[in-house]
């Protein structure tokens, strides 16, 4: 039967029209199971009923047959989400007689739900006249078929090919909310740019000409990035502009240029050489589990795409539309965003990408709504009026008048909220009862050397030092690292900058030191790697200390500490580096504060001992949540289990702050939870007084904290401690925010 199952699924998946595919499905299922009747019921979520969409064996006479979700045996299967196998269906208490379909001739009944990620999309039923129970093999076959159909149905639903009662009904698509806001405008799709992934192998007949073409493309791309940077210089801060600095830096990289030339000299055409080199570079980043670093592969691809454009064209693309649009693109890029005139781009819907990409960061800085990773057929949506919800990640195509009215109201609220938030960004971060909360930045957007001082922050709570290591083909020298770190420290005079030591290895392999591991999340990473390479560790520590000479604003943080032995070894290396730099410096070197990242659960139980050895701790809520819940948050199959509001995570965070306060150990939380409105309020209620977040979250979190009192938050946290599920905690906090008039900061996507 396995062969028959594969054949059925293959036939169904080949047909574009979903109704036609269901007709094939019921016929082929009857053949395979040697039964007399097979029917498919699809759930209409809007009308709360099950509709008979295809059947072989029942008499529909072209009339719509529907069942309320609380009616009949099919409704029972939908509600219980379990198979139902009956020898005498007619005498079951839930049986409903529908006279027009002639179902009464069948006694045997077997049905199973079609479920995709806990969402029941429909029910498949087989029936026979003969009174008998279906065998375990038959039931297993139908359950397996339903599981296969669920994937096909879910894909059809995501592409807007799901069943609709009329052609003008609103279609809903979902993606990843990357930049918040609301947009109402026509969708616009254009596919006129060359694609790097479509470049085919090609040999060169004139190597010198290909080298000349490459050189011209490099210079044109360099000129273009400088022009785009200049265009945005007054619109966004230097931290975000560093995206273009990164591209210019890469174009000037002699190693990249040499690799491209080497590929051409081997006999390849320039475009084919470009594709091979870019894909090789991007693959290094793409293997990394850290979402931030993995998204750097998109930067490399964008650079390659821009070079390909200039290999084929002599000038950059200028976009201009007769009216503002919601742009659909295969992949959102920083170049694309910078090329579009102000006022003409309402939002971007990208079929690829994620919320950590540089383009997503730039879209947030520019205030351009963006939704990423949307599974759609863009040609079918071109020029259709739509709404994009940048909070929930939903796109509504052909929205009803009522929906448009609701979102116009939200849009007006959004404008008012933005004015409120930005108007108070330079105010102190204090609750209504005068409690001061210190806000810091998570920095390290790129290998930039010009991070701007951001308004309203106390300094940098986390600077990722691994970026220079990942962009080179060798370990950066001590002098190279010193220059990099000093440029960052100088950007924040008189403000602390917490520099995390090298956090690579295992899940973030260096391109020149690849390590293959079965489970990189639990592997050779962070402090484990640097302790095994004291030469690399000491070079970095000396570079950090040299960079701080005369500035005196650097603290050092150690990542992935899982035990006291690791901590003692790391502290010994820091002491050694300090002594070596002190001997070389004419200036009195200030001894930096030393801290560790609390991200491995084992450290929760060692905090009293840790407090005796370090000056501060930083909580990495992202990894801590991942390890506590045993969930790979980048795995779509279990991503819904990853929830930083899980009661166990809240309990762990409370334990950390309670023990730290007992031992007077300063604590800062630097995970995504700090920049989330609900998360920030819970953290303050738990006792956290220092939060480190991305630039885009600072103004929002500052404003929200100024609208609440500590007393209120303590009461809320006490209630939260009695919750058993993340959903209950979220609902409670949403209600609290709405009661304070702050519901606009969370929307449906939160």
- Asked if residues 335 and 329 have their Cβ atoms less than 8 Å apart, the reply is no
Q: 671 Cβ partners below 8 Å, 6+ apart?
A: 619, 620, 621, 622, 623, 624, 625, 644
What are the boundaries of each domain within the chain? 2-158, 171-192+318-422, 211-312, 424-745
Six token digits for residue 57: 């064996």
In eight-state DSSP terms, residue 475 is P
Interior/surface letters 709-732, b for 16+ CB within 10 angstroms, e for the rest? ebebbeebbeebeebeebeebbeb
Cα separation of 269 and 274, whole Å?
9
Q: Hey, how many other C-beta atoms are within 10 angstroms of the C-beta on 154?
A: 18
Cα separation of 460 and 480, whole Å?
21
Q: Give the up-direction half-sphere exposure of residue 216: CA atoms within 13 A in the CB hemisphere.
A: 15
CATH number at 171-192+318-422? 3.50.30.10
Cα separation of 397 and 169, whole Å?
9
pLDDT value at residue 448: 37
Per the listing, tokens 């000299």 go with: 265
Cα separation of 224 and 313, whole Å?
12
The four Cα atoms 698, 699, 701, 704 give a dihedral, to 10 degrees, of 170
Q: What share of the chain is helix, strand, coil (3-state, %, to 5)?
A: 50, 15, 35
What does 22-57 look like in DSSP terms, one character per residue? HHHHHHHHHHHHT-SEEEEEEEETTTTEEEEEEEES
Cα separation of 264 and 606, whole Å?
56
pLDDT tens column, 437-490: 999 988 764 333 334 445 678 999 999 887 667 656 677 889 988 988 998 898
SS3 letters across 176-194: EEEECCEEEEEEEECCCCC
Six token digits for residue 398: 């052909």
Instruction: For residue 161, give Cα distances in angstroms to 13, 19, 316, 372.
Output: 13, 10, 36, 20
Cα separation of 579 and 568, whole Å?
17
The CA-to-CA distance between both ends of the chain, in Å, stands at 45
pLDDT tens column, 466-476: 766 765 667 78
Angle at which helix 534-548 crosses helix 564-584, to 10 degrees, equals: 50
Nearest Cα to Cα of residue 138 among 11, 30, 22? 30
- Asked if residues 202 and 268 have their Cβ atoms less than 8 Å apart, the reply is yes
CATH topology of domain 2-158: Beta-Lactamase (3.30.450)
- Asked if residues 308 and 272 have their Cβ atoms less than 8 Å apart, the reply is no
pLDDT value at residue 584: 81
Bridge-based pairing state of the strands 182-189 and 325-329: parallel
Nearest Cα to Cα of residue 469 among 383, 540, 396, 573? 540
Q: Domain 211-312, what architecture?
A: Orthogonal Bundle (1.10)
- Asked if residues 269 and 207 have their Cβ atoms less than 8 Å apart, the reply is no
Nearest Cα to Cα of residue 142 among 154, 152, 134, 132? 134
- Asked if residues 108 and 87 have their Cβ atoms less than 8 Å apart, the reply is yes
The four Cα atoms 736, 740, 745, 749 give a dihedral, to 10 degrees, of 30
Cα separation of 285 and 507, whole Å?
10
Residues labelled catalytic: 358, 670
Domain 424-745: what homologous superfamily? Phosphoenolpyruvate-binding domains (3.20.20.60)
Six token digits for residue 370: 């963006």
Q: Hey, how many other C-beta atoms are within 10 angstroms of the C-beta on 689?
A: 16
Cα separation of 598 and 607, whole Å?
9
List, for the chain, all residue ranges whose pLDDT scores fall below the cut of 50.
Answer: 165-166, 445-453, 506-507, 517, 748-750
Cα separation of 478 and 484, whole Å?
10
pLDDT value at residue 165: 47
- Asked if residues 671 and 620 have their Cβ atoms less than 8 Å apart, the reply is yes
């Amino acid at each position: 039967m396995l062969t028959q199952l594969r054949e059925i699924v293959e036939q169904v998946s080949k047909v574009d029209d979903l109704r036609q595919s269901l007709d094939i499905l019921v016929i082929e299922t009857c053949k395979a199971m040697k039964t007399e009747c097979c029917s498919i019921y699809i759930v209409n979520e809007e009308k709360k009923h099950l509709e008979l969409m295809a059947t072989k064996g029942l008499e529909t006479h072209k009339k719509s047959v529907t069942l309320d979700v609380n009616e009949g045996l099919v409704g029972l299967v939908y509600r219980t989400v379990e198979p139902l196998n009956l020898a005498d269906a007619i005498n079951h208490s839930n049986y409903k007689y529908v006279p027009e379909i002639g179902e009464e001739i069948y006694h045997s009944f077997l049905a199973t739900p079609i479920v995709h990620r806990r969402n029941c999309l429909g029910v498949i039923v087989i029936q026979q006249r003969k009174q008998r129970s279906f065998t375990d093999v038959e039931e297993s076959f139908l359950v397996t078929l339903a599981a296969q159909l669920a994937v096909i149905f879910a894909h059809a639903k995501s592409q807007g090919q799901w069943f609709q009662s009329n052609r003008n009904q609103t279609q809903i698509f979902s993606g990843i909310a990357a930049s918040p806001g609301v947009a109402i405008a026509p969708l616009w799709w254009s596919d006129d740019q060359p694609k790097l992934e479509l470049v085919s192998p090609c040999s060169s007949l004139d190597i010198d000409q290909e080298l000349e073409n490459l050189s011209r493309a490099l210079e044109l791309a360099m000129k273009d990035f400088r022009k785009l940077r200049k265009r945005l210089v007054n619109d966004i801060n230097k931290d975000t502009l560093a995206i273009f600095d990164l591209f210019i830096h890469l174009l000037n990289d002699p190693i990249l240029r040499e690799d491209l030339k080497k590929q051409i000299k081997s006999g390849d055409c320039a475009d084919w050489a470009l594709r091979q080199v870019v894909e090789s570079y991007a693959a290094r980043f793409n293997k990394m589990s850290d979402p931030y670093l993995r998204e750097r592969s998109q930067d490399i691809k964008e650079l390659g795409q821009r070079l390909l454009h200039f290999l084929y064209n002599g000038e950059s693309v200028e976009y201009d539309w007769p009216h503002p649009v919601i742009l659909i693109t295969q992949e959102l890029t920083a170049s694309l965003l910078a090329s579009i005139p102000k006022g003409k781009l309402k939002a971007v819907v990208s079929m690829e990408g994620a919320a950590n990409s540089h383009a997503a960061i730039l879209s947030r800085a520019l205030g351009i709504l963006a939704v990423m990773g949307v599974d759609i057929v863009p040609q079918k949506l071109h020029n259709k009026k739509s709404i994009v919800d940048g909070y929930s990640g939903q796109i509504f195509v052909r929205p009803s008048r009522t929906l448009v009215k609701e979102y116009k109201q939200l849009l007006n609220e959004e404008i008012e909220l933005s004015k409120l938030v930005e108007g108070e960004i330079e105010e102190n971060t204090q609750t209504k009862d005068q409690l001061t909360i210190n806000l810091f930045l998570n920095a390290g957007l790129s290998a930039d050397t010009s991070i701007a001082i951001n308004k309203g922050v106390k300094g940098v709570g986390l600077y990722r030092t691994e970026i220079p290591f990942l962009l080179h083909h060798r370990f950066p020298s001590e002098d190279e690292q010193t220059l990099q770190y000093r440029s960052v420290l100088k950007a924040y005079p008189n403000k602390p900058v917490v520099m995390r030591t090298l956090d690579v290895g295992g899940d973030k392999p260096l391109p020149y030191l690849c390590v293959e591991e079965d489970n990189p999340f639990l592997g050779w990473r962070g402090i484990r790697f640097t302790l095994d390479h004291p030469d690399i560790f000491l070079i970095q520590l000396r570079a950090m200390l040299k960079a701080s000479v005369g500035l005196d604003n650097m603290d050092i943080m150690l990542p992935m500490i899982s035990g006291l032995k690791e901590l003692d070894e790391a502290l010994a290396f820091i002491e050694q580096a300090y002594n070596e730099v002190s001997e070389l410096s004419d200036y009195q070197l200030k001894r930096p504060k030393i801290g560790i990242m609390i991200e491995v659960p084992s450290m929760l139980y060692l905090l009293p001992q840790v407090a005796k050895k370090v000056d501060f701790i930083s909580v990495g809520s992202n990894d801590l949540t991942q390890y506590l819940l045993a969930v790979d948050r980048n795995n779509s199959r279990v991503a819904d289990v990853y929830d930083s509001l899980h009661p166990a995570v809240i309990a762990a965070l409370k334990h950390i702050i309670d023990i730290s306060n007992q031992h007077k150990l300063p604590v800062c939380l630097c995970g995504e939870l700090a920049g989330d409105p609900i998360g920030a309020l819970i953290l303050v209620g738990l006792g956290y007084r220092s939060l480190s977040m991305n630039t885009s979250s600072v103004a929002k979190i500052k404003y929200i904290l100024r609208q609440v009192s500590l007393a209120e938050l303590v009461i809320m946290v006490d209630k939260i401690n009695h919750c058993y599920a993340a959903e209950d905690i979220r609902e409670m906090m949403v209600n609290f925010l709405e009661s304070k008039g702050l519901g606009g900061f969370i929307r449906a996507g939160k």
